[in-house]
Amino acid sequence: MRRHPALFAFPLAVVTACWFALSARPQAPAPPTRTPLDPTEVAAIAGKISQRSENLKPMFEEVHPEEWVANGAPEAYISQWKSIGEQNGAIETDMAAITQHPDGMQDVMRALFRVHRFDSDLYALLESIRRYQNPALADLMESVASGDQSGVAQLQQYVLDLADEKERQLDIENEEAQRCRASLASQPPARPAVQKKTNGTSK
């Protein structure tokens, strides 16, 4: 018994149309509430944050926690100072990666996480610098460290914008898939072709 090819033509056309709709349908842009950053702006912001780390390096060299320990301060300050200095250098590395790939959301998120951790640890160290060494040096370091906070906030908003755009694209694809499934489900089931009888036999 053979089934007529026309029985499969319409469902196949629906599936094909759905596939092309999912893969080639133009993405309608969502109405923006603000002008999003472009990659050039992101790279410039990352460069400024990197410069902050560069400016802080000679200030870290002026911090001498070993002298604090000699005067009775806890030895933990030495390892704290070393750790924060390493974090400062790592921020430069992360920001350099962003300047090369400003559209990489994971790179930006990793860099922001490091900046926030650095800022938190730095301010704890500044209190120790004020107490055990030089309040003026601590004030200067705090001033330099706080100078790029607007850039950090811009990068945070940039990550949120990227996440929103990815979510919007996924929603569009999901809606299109639902529409295709609904179209397929609404089609009547295929029925076998009518058999022809010749001389009491079927073919």
**Domains of the chain, residue spans:** 35-168
Exposed / middle / buried, residue 99 (Cβ in 10 Å: 0-12, 13-18, 19+): middle
Binned at pLDDT 50, 70 and 90, residue 65 comes out as: very high
- Candidate CATH numbers 1.10.260, 1.10.8, 1.20.1440, 1.10.150; the one for domain 35-168: 1.20.1440
pLDDT at 144: 92
pLDDT at 20: 44
* 92-125 tens-digit pLDDT: 999 998 888 887 778 888 889 999 999 999 999 9
